[in-house]
Amino acid sequence: MDVIVIALAMTIGFCVILMNLTGMWPCQLLEATGQYYQVDTLQNSTEPINKIIYDTHYSLKGLFRCS
């Protein structure tokens, strides 16, 4: 259990350090990936993986309160 908590904390810390070094924050990353993969076109897709990508993208936008 301790290993999982430590690994999670290290992963989050590493991500925060990378965000500081690159200057790209979660909303900017979501916007860039949304444009690259054209996530808006996946909303009416019948393929399960496309629905998962669409739902994940917009739930993360809500989590980080991106406009």
Could you tell me the pLDDT band of residue 3, with boundaries at 50, 70 and 90?
very high
What is residue 9's predicted lDDT score, i.e. its pLDDT? 94
pLDDT, one tens digit per residue, over 47-67 is 999 899 899 999 999 988 887
The DSSP line for 29-43 is: HHHHHHHHHTGGGGT
Which pLDDT score, from 0 to 100, does residue 32 have? 87
Q: What is the mean pLDDT of residues 20-45?
A: 86
Question: Model pTM greater than 0.75?
Answer: no
Q: State how far the Cα of 24 lies from the Cα of 53, in Å rounded to an integer.
A: 21
* Angle value at C-alpha 38, between 33 and 41, nearest 5 degrees: 145
